Chains A and B, each alone.
Chain A
Amino acid sequence: MKLGIRQSVLMKALQKGSVAAISDVAEPDASNATFFSKTIKLTATENKFLIESNSSLMDVRYSTKVGEDYGIVVKEAGSVILPAKEFMGWVKIQGDETTINLTLSKLDTPEIINSVGGEDEDDQFVVRKIGSVTMLSKTNNKTGNKWSLDCYDPKHVKKVDFGDQGQHHFDLPAKEFANALKMVSFAVLPHKDPDHILDNVSIQTYKDGLYFFGTDTKVCAMYKANEVAKKESSDTLLVPFNLIDLVSKTCDEDDMVSISHHSANTRIFIKQNDLDVRFVIANKDQTEQFHPVSMLLEKDFDLLTEVAVADLRRLLTAASMVNNSSVLFSFKKDETHMTIKAVSDTNKYKPNVSQMPIESSVRDLNAVWAVKHFINILKTSPDESIRLAVHEKTSAFKVVGKTTENFICFGMPIRNPIYAKV
């Protein structure tokens, strides 16, 4: 393989194509050479330049056209596997103005550098070093840098088929896609839920609306996506949040993202221009374990009052210094202020009491809600004021932005006997 490529073109290709190898969330890469380092595969043909990375959970492929107009000149077609981090690190520091020449120098006989089962070449864990890739960077004023990296046999990387993508679900502008995930991110459990249900984001259809929904069982956050195009399926998807979030940050903001789902292979396919990503998602049984959005959207919540976000956030932060889990919210009918009281569960601190003006409350209410979660809702809310509604029977709350109604959060009350004594 021999090619010349502009640094900016190569860097863009690497930022997209090497996601599975560079990020820790995607688990170890799927090549044999992962024993040494995470790797990426570079392939140059007459028409295309491909960068692929694979991990046990995720496969990524980025392709770009070849030619002087595209900043890539292929002198000799070929394919190599390189250590991702080292290669990308070197390319990154070369600067936008440089041209990078990559040349593969092959060994006469591949060198077996690791084999679990002895020196047997057929050993499935064997790693063959086929040579080294010389990387030469040059600017117009003849400033340059030369380095080389060991290169492994491209056969070590499995061939991924992005052909059969199953059922197409919807297209969404990349900016809205990333925003929807950002809005529900605080409610999704980190990647440590033993059942791997609540560390997922659920994408559901309800009355023609497309909802992104996350919950840690204490709080639920949902976001109704705008500008959904080509919606072709109403199936619910349960997608690992850390993986979909990683992909959303890789996509170009201004272009559409296309989502498909292969239910038999439990894989989601995300496509944007020349970027193809697929990763494993939850199966049908797991998907059904997640709450449907209808369960919450069809519940009756009575509007209680309107509250200013910044003030409430400040007061709740003060209250959380005394009790980081639960605080008592008190409202009196027709009164234009609310009280927040935090009492320490362990008697470590004296109670903290706050008061703030509100639009007059429509009824009396004393409810204990989760303070951390409430703060997260306020941090995420794009509005200056929120509407607070309450479920009459359970005292569960619902928060909706005063102007942006597509971000909705719900929280359960907490039974905490220390507030019963207050």
Chain B
Amino acid sequence: MLLPSPILIFGDYYLSRNNLLDMKKEEPNAKWVELSLDKATLDDVRTEVGMSLWSGDAKVVLVYNVPNQKAVREFLLDVCASLDESVRLVIWDSLNNIKYNKTCQSFLDAFKEIPNSKLINNGDKLTEKDGEEAIEFVKKCFQQHGKRINYTEAKMLVGIVGYNRGLLASEVDKLCVLSPEIATADFILENAYPSNDAAVLYMLSNVVDTGSYHKSVEMAERFMQIGVNENVLAEVLVKKGRWQLAAAYFWAKGMSWSNVINKLMTMGKFPSIIWHSDRIKAVDKKEMAADFQDKDGMKKMLVRKLGIPEEYFGLFKKEAVKIEEPPKKGLRKKKATLKASDKIKSAEKIPMSFMAEQTVNFVKDKLVGPNQDNPYIKQQLVARAVRVYLFAQDKLAKVRYGTNPMQHIEEMLAALTSVRMEKGQ
């Protein structure tokens, strides 16, 4: 037998499942007996673990769906302590109850003490709060394949695939087959499979910035084939039109291309009084804005710096939180609920600097080109950007309420990728 025993697997569900598949590959001739503790009893566990096979072949008992009960954990420790050579025991915490916390610490410590035991910790489930951890995870996966990925590209991959270790790991496995020594942004955008909602924004906006109408249509069709709603695609394209407009406007106002990128990245960031100040250095802006990012900080900024009366917030709260009247007499009153329409939408931000950079590069290289000194070009550029943006807005309505959404999306893509400045092109 190759496997150590007992083994405890806990943490991320998908990685744990991968561990099990690897183990099954390691022990192809062993008889695997799987016991789910929501059906099997502890007596069953004891019986399976205590019973060798007639043939003398290897036997692996997998126990999963372990309930979060101290008595069960103690029972498993007891079983682990009396294992025989002929039977291997694998305990999988598929319900994600075991963590390095006060409740489980003594169990984990006792498990580690068992001779020949192995603990596999696949880490907690990732969420959007764990962005840095996800990025580190991606970098580590690349390293395991002898490849490298930088921070920005890793962040982009997380954005495309989502916060799921199992999906990220399998995506990296796939990418590393083709990846250059250091994975580039283009490579990621070209090859990563979009599992996350934000992937549409990343991938579609990237292809639009290449200026290729055909590639853009192809990408839009690909998204529609995998079930992305046409409204989502149209909204991304309107957003793209807005970024082009902003980039054109800032450059026309006299900013350098690099400043346009920085300026685009400050779009939608609070408070604008800091982010859009010319007197504050770019490096200090983040630190100064940090105090105003939570609800109280935001209120403090609006009241103290912008002079909005404090009572307004009370009024706003009263109006936003409505108590719905019970529909019939005698029924219990419903709790106060916030309607979806009452929520404050967060301002539009460009999620990553490479996206601002790509938008600016499109405007600079494809639209303006070598004619930067032409006095009329700025005027024409802004006029084109406004025209394209309004056209995209108009088409968004047609995608939502019209009959042939793909045709309208194709027309939006034609406008966004068009490099002609004159009206009517």
Interface assignment of B311: CB less than 8 Å from any CB of chain A: no
Interface assignment of B299: CB less than 8 Å from any CB of chain A: no
CB of A316, distance to nearest CB on chain B (Å): 14
Q: Is there an interface contact between B51 and A414, defined as CB atoms closer than 8 Å? A: yes
- Nearest residue, chain B, Cβ from A299: B54
Interface assignment of B324: CB less than 8 Å from any CB of chain A: no
For A244, the chain B residues whose CB sits under 8 A away are: none
Q: Is there an interface contact between A291 and B84, defined as CB atoms closer than 8 Å? A: no
- Compute how far the CA of A218 lies from the CA of B49 in the bound complex, rounded to whole angstroms: 11
Q: Knowing that A218-B47, A296-B54, A325-B46 are A-B contacts, what are 9 other residue pairs whose CB atoms are under 8 Å apart, sorted by A's residue number?
A: A194-B34, A217-B54, A295-B55, A326-B43, A346-B71, A370-B47, A412-B51, A413-B51, A415-B51
Contact of B43 among A217, A218, A325, A413 (CB under 8 A): A325
Q: Which residues in A have some Cβ–Cβ distance to B below 8 Å?
A: 194, 215, 217-218, 220, 291, 295-296, 323-326, 345-346, 368, 370, 396, 410, 412-418
For A368, the chain B residues whose CB sits under 8 A away are: 50
**B33-59 Cβ-contact flags toward A at 8 Å (1 or 0):** 110000001111011011111110001
For B47, the chain A residues whose CB sits under 8 A away are: 218, 325-326, 370, 414, 416
Q: Is there an interface contact between A370 and B51, defined as CB atoms closer than 8 Å? A: yes
Q: Which residues in B have some Cβ–Cβ distance to A below 8 Å?
A: 31-34, 41-44, 46-47, 49-55, 59, 71, 75, 78, 82, 84
For B43, the chain A residues whose CB sits under 8 A away are: 323-326, 345-346
- Do most interface residues of chain A lie in helix, strand or loop, or is the interface mixed? loop
- Compute how far the CA of A148 lies from the CA of B187 in the bound complex, rounded to whole angstroms: 64
CB of A187, distance to nearest CB on chain B (Å): 12
- Do most interface residues of chain B lie in helix, strand or loop, or is the interface mixed? mixed
Which of B43, B71, B75 has the most chain A CB within a 10 Å cutoff? B43
Q: Is there an interface contact between A345 and B55, defined as CB atoms closer than 8 Å? A: no
For A326, the chain B residues whose CB sits under 8 A away are: 43, 46-47, 50
Task: List 6 A-B pairs, Cβ < 8 Å.
Answer: A217-B59, A218-B51, A220-B54, A324-B41, A412-B52, A415-B50
- Nearest residue, chain B, Cβ from A320: B43
Q: Is there an interface contact between B50 and A414, defined as CB atoms closer than 8 Å? A: yes
For A414, the chain B residues whose CB sits under 8 A away are: 46-47, 50-51
Q: Is there an interface contact between A415 and B82, defined as CB atoms closer than 8 Å? A: yes
For B51, the chain A residues whose CB sits under 8 A away are: 217-218, 370, 412-415
For A325, the chain B residues whose CB sits under 8 A away are: 41, 43-44, 46-47
8 A-B pairs with the lowest CB-CB distances in the bound complex, closest first? A325-B43, A325-B47, A415-B50, A414-B50, A417-B82, A345-B43, A416-B50, A345-B46
For A217, the chain B residues whose CB sits under 8 A away are: 31, 33, 51, 53-54, 59
- Compute how far the CA of A389 lies from the CA of B31 in the bound complex, rounded to whole angstroms: 27
CB of B96, distance to nearest CB on chain A (Å): 23
- Compute how far the CA of A410 lies from the CA of B31 in the bound complex, rounded to whole angstroms: 19
Q: Is there an interface contact between A215 and B50, defined as CB atoms closer than 8 Å? A: no
For A215, the chain B residues whose CB sits under 8 A away are: 54
- Nearest residue, chain A, Cβ from B59: A217
Contact of A345 among B34, B42, B53, B59 (CB under 8 A): B42
For B33, the chain A residues whose CB sits under 8 A away are: 217
Q: Is there an interface contact between A291 and B82, defined as CB atoms closer than 8 Å? A: no
Contact of B46 among A218, A410, A416 (CB under 8 A): A416
For B31, the chain A residues whose CB sits under 8 A away are: 217
- Compute how far the CA of A226 lies from the CA of B31 in the bound complex, rounded to whole angstroms: 33
Q: Is there an interface contact between A415 and B84, defined as CB atoms closer than 8 Å? A: yes
- Compute how far the CA of A285 lies from the CA of B53 in the bound complex, rounded to whole angstroms: 19
Which of A194, A410, A416 has the most chain B CB within a 10 Å cutoff? A416
CB of B119, distance to nearest CB on chain A (Å): 23
For B75, the chain A residues whose CB sits under 8 A away are: 345-346
Q: Is there an interface contact between A412 and B46, defined as CB atoms closer than 8 Å? A: no
- Nearest residue, chain A, Cβ from B82: A417
For B34, the chain A residues whose CB sits under 8 A away are: 194
For B55, the chain A residues whose CB sits under 8 A away are: 291, 295
Q: Is there an interface contact between B84 and A410, defined as CB atoms closer than 8 Å? A: no
Contact of A295 among B41, B49, B54 (CB under 8 A): B54
- Compute how far the CA of A323 lies from the CA of B46 in the bound complex, rounded to whole angstroms: 11
- Nearest residue, chain B, Cβ from A323: B43
For B52, the chain A residues whose CB sits under 8 A away are: 412
